[in-house]
Chains A and B, each alone.
Chain A
Amino acid sequence: MSDTPVQTSATVLTVRQVQDYHAMTLVAPAIAERFRPGQFVAAAVGGAHTARLVRRCFGVHEVKSDYGGTVEVVFADTEPGTGWLAGLRSRDQLDLVGPLGRPFRLPRDPVGCVLTGGGPGAASLFALADTLLRRGCKVHFVLAGPSARQVFGSRMAQRVGDTAAIVTEDGSVGEEGTLDDVLPRVLQETGADVVYGCGPTDLLRTITQIAGELGLPSQVSVEEFLQRTGACGTGLCMTCMLPVHGEDGVTRMVRACADGPVLRGDRVRWSDLGTIPFDALGAPRVLSVTEGGSR
């Protein structure tokens, strides 16, 4: 076992539609054996003669030992690249690089953990739950989304979690409301020690804020930001940058892929995503149209 990523030609085992998303299981032993929860894989889309050069990054829902090792990813079909992926069938080959990025940090002791998220990103929480449960931790799920079709894994959460709360804006599954209505209560009721999050960026911001108000540490995966901004997944291209302040108080632009995707929630400058904060290291000192050039 090694913690370095590999590039491999994975074989598609199954592709299933799950609510609004697609769940794809791939035979990729070298990735499965190296994987740690929170890491992701980067898929090349479009086949051998593709004109699409950006790798699509997905968190891993679960790894299994079947067929020497499988990984399952969950994704939304939002653009031609993910559309191509959704069209793959059993026995097709997919060029995958992984596992990539920094995993969730795990508690040393068997503590209480709240795992919260929404959208296809919530899938990453299940691999984490598996590891936490095996370490004797308590796992409490809080899944949120606009409606039932955007909440991945609600039944699974009820099955594997010690508790599971579901909340949708339209009440089509679980309680009617938003994460703000439910997360503080769950944190208090369960006496959780740590909060883990994965899902849409706005949700991560809410998670961090609520955890912070209760003095709890949060670890969140900025997978969705990476999907929107990144091109390689391997830390080369420097396009998935977000502002994070360090222990020394200095804000730096860091890569969502290689410095994340799991980050301490309280370190991310959520309101400044998509900007270079004026006090960030290396921020332009004067605003000008020509500043920077294109290269």
Chain B
Amino acid sequence: MSDRVRTALGPLELPSPVLTAAGCGGTGRELAPFFDLGRLGAFTTTSVTAQPRAGRPTPRVAETPSGLLTAMGMPGPGIETFLERDLPWLVEQDVRTIVSLAGHSVEEFAELAHRLRGVPGVAAVEVNVACPNVADRGRMFARHPAAAAAAIRAVRDGTRPGTPVLAKLAPDATDIVTIALACVDAGADGLTLINTMEGMAIDTGTLRPALTGVSGGLSGPALRPVAVRCVYQVHAALPHTPIIGTGGVATGLDALELILAGASAVAVGTALFHDPLAVPRVLRELEEALAARRIERLADAVGLAHRPAGFVPPQVRPHEPEKERTP
């Protein structure tokens, strides 16, 4: 990995800006046969819950144009098994690991942070606030600034000061900037933007909703413009808060787009299901794209799209058409 792609999320330095997105990289073991996990900027775990969760019945996924709709029901082994079985494996492989947490109440978030405190091998903690809050009749924390902030505060208070806490926000909010500001006020050191967006598909054969969960989360390239918009708006309001851009990244140029909007790193989710080698490929393509634009350091590209229109950026040389691979 070249110095060109080095990046940082606040105090957390990463040799590569390409991460796996929460819930899309399995336990790490499933990806390991395909590429050296050391090439990951970081591995983000599936959101860890307090108890084991079987999740929703099948069908959990439907294919939509350039996207997936999934209703998973937050399946996972629970934090105890995670700490015994999954995290130690990642530590053994020397993989920088961001642990994602999912609680159904502020107390549960606090408990999860407490269980994780001091555990070796946690590069950062990501708080998945796209969870139903049982204290609020199941409405998502991510939809309400105060609820999201309370979850972040609980995790920040329970986490060692040196370990960054990232707030992972969902686009299904009236104003994502308000939510982001509330989370940063509550102590979030960075933001992961975005989680899936609620959508729905109906099976025209069975004449019923395609998913058992009825509605589901839209992910994949279909979501990318929404992610770019969210990153752009939040970076404009919080230019000094590091952002992990997530949503439909499948190529190096997709990654660059989120970086230009204001992300310091990107996470690849759905593309991993289609291409298990997506992470090293996106990294290679991003390095090439930066070089073609004579951008020497990734940091110089972060938020570049916010420059006023009169600014003349380095141009891509016209006779080098770029390979594009947009699912």
Decide whether A and B assemble into one complex: yes
Query: Which residues of A does B touch, CB under 8 Å?
Result: 4-7, 44, 48-55, 81, 95, 97, 228-232, 234-242, 253, 258, 273-276, 280-284, 288-295
Chain B residues lying within 8 Å of A274, measured Cβ to Cβ, are 57-59, 212
Least distance between B252 CB and chain A CB atoms (Å)? 15
Q: Please state if A293 and B73 are interface contacts (CB–CB under 8 Å).
A: yes
Additional A-B contact list (11), CB under 8 Å, known A228-B59, A231-B273, A289-B138: A7-B275, A51-B327, A53-B270, A239-B59, A239-B60, A241-B75, A282-B55, A292-B132, A292-B213, A294-B70, A294-B72
Chain B residues lying within 8 Å of A276, measured Cβ to Cβ, are 54-57
Q: Please, which residue of chain B has its CB at the minimum distance from the CB of A225?
A: B58
Least distance between B77 CB and chain A CB atoms (Å)? 8
- Cross-chain pairs A/B with CB under 8 angstroms, 5 sampled: A4-B33, A5-B34, A228-B59, A237-B273, A238-B46
Q: Please state if A288 and B138 are interface contacts (CB–CB under 8 Å).
A: yes
Q: Please state if A242 and B58 are interface contacts (CB–CB under 8 Å).
A: yes
Least distance between B16 CB and chain A CB atoms (Å)? 19
Q: Please state if A294 and B216 are interface contacts (CB–CB under 8 Å).
A: yes
Chain A CB within 8 A of B262 CB: no
Pick the residue among B26, B58, B221, B276 that contacts A241 (CB under 8 A). B58
A201 vs B289: C-alpha distance when bound (angstroms): 48
A111 vs B17: C-alpha distance when bound (angstroms): 55
Q: Please state if A281 and B26 are interface contacts (CB–CB under 8 Å).
A: no
Closest 10 pairs between A and B when the two form their complex, measured CB to CB: A290-B138, A292-B73, A232-B273, A282-B52, A4-B33, A282-B54, A235-B30, A239-B61, A239-B60, A51-B66
Q: Please, which residue of chain A has its CB at the minimum distance from the CB of B323?
A: A48
Chain A residues lying within 8 Å of B212, measured Cβ to Cβ, are 274
Chain A CB within 8 A of B307 CB: no
Pick the residue among A235, A289, A293 that contacts B26 (CB under 8 A). A235
Q: Please, which residue of chain B has its CB at the minimum distance from the CB of A283?
A: B54
Instruction: Encode contact with A along B205-239: 1 for CB under 8 Å, 0 otherwise.
Output: 00000001101110011000000000000000000
Chain A residues lying within 8 Å of B292, measured Cβ to Cβ, are none
Chain A residues lying within 8 Å of B270, measured Cβ to Cβ, are 53
- With known contacts A50-B327, A229-B58, A293–B272 Cβ distance under 8 A: no
Chain B residues lying within 8 Å of A4, measured Cβ to Cβ, are 33
Q: Please state if B55 and A232 are interface contacts (CB–CB under 8 Å).
A: no
The interface residues of chain A, by DSSP majority, are classed as loop
A81 vs B65: C-alpha distance when bound (angstroms): 12
Chain B residues lying within 8 Å of A230, measured Cβ to Cβ, are 61
Pick the residue among B51, B57, B72 that contacts A282 (CB under 8 A). B51
A36 vs B125: C-alpha distance when bound (angstroms): 40
Q: Please state if B68 and A292 are interface contacts (CB–CB under 8 Å).
A: no
A260 vs B213: C-alpha distance when bound (angstroms): 24
- Sorting the interface of chain B by its residue count into under 10, 10 to 19, 20 to 34 or 35 or more gives 35 or more
Least distance between A90 CB and chain B CB atoms (Å)? 24
Pick the residue among A44, A97, A229, A275 that contacts B60 (CB under 8 A). A229
Pick the residue among B54, B77, B78, B325 that contacts A284 (CB under 8 A). B54
Q: Please, which residue of chain B has its CB at the minimum distance from the CB of A54?
A: B63
Chain A residues lying within 8 Å of B111, measured Cβ to Cβ, are none
Least distance between A239 CB and chain B CB atoms (Å)? 4
Instruction: Encode contact with A along B110-132: 1 for CB under 8 Å, 0 otherwise.
Output: 00000000000000000010111
Chain A residues lying within 8 Å of B216, measured Cβ to Cβ, are 294
Least distance between B154 CB and chain A CB atoms (Å)? 18
Q: Please state if B56 and A53 are interface contacts (CB–CB under 8 Å).
A: no
Q: Please report which residues of chain B, range 192-206, place their CB below 8 angstroms from some CB of chain A when the two chains form the complex.
A: 195-196, 198
Least distance between A206 CB and chain B CB atoms (Å)? 21
- With known contacts A253-B55, A284-B54, A291-B73, A234–B274 Cβ distance under 8 A: no
A152 vs B307: C-alpha distance when bound (angstroms): 63
A292 vs B102: C-alpha distance when bound (angstroms): 11
Least distance between B64 CB and chain A CB atoms (Å)? 9
- With known contacts A281-B52, A294-B71, A53–B273 Cβ distance under 8 A: yes
Chain A residues lying within 8 Å of B46, measured Cβ to Cβ, are 238
Least distance between B172 CB and chain A CB atoms (Å)? 10
A239 vs B57: C-alpha distance when bound (angstroms): 9
- With known contacts A55-B273, A236-B26, A294–B217 Cβ distance under 8 A: yes
Q: Please state if A238 and B55 are interface contacts (CB–CB under 8 Å).
A: yes
Q: Please state if B54 and A54 are interface contacts (CB–CB under 8 Å).
A: no
Q: Please state if A282 and B326 are interface contacts (CB–CB under 8 Å).
A: no
Chain B residues lying within 8 Å of A7, measured Cβ to Cβ, are 34, 275-277
Chain A residues lying within 8 Å of B55, measured Cβ to Cβ, are 238, 241, 253, 276, 282, 292
Q: Please state if A258 and B130 are interface contacts (CB–CB under 8 Å).
A: no
Chain A CB within 8 A of B140 CB: yes
Q: Please state if B74 and A53 are interface contacts (CB–CB under 8 Å).
A: no
Pick the residue among A231, A240, A281, A295 that contacts B47 (CB under 8 A). A295
Chain A residues lying within 8 Å of B51, measured Cβ to Cβ, are 282
Q: Please state if B66 and A53 are interface contacts (CB–CB under 8 Å).
A: yes
A295 vs B21: C-alpha distance when bound (angstroms): 12
In this complex, the member of B76, B170, B198, B273 whose beta carbon has the largest number of chain A beta carbons within 10 angstroms is B273
Pick the residue among A53, A291, A292 that contacts B67 (CB under 8 A). A53
Q: Please state if A234 and B30 are interface contacts (CB–CB under 8 Å).
A: yes
Chain A CB within 8 A of B173 CB: no
Q: Please state if A232 and B272 are interface contacts (CB–CB under 8 Å).
A: yes
Chain A CB within 8 A of B25 CB: yes
Least distance between A205 CB and chain B CB atoms (Å)? 16
Chain A CB within 8 A of B15 CB: no
Least distance between A42 CB and chain B CB atoms (Å)? 9
Chain B residues lying within 8 Å of A228, measured Cβ to Cβ, are 58-59
Q: Please state if A236 and B61 are interface contacts (CB–CB under 8 Å).
A: no
Q: Please state if B25 and A236 are interface contacts (CB–CB under 8 Å).
A: yes
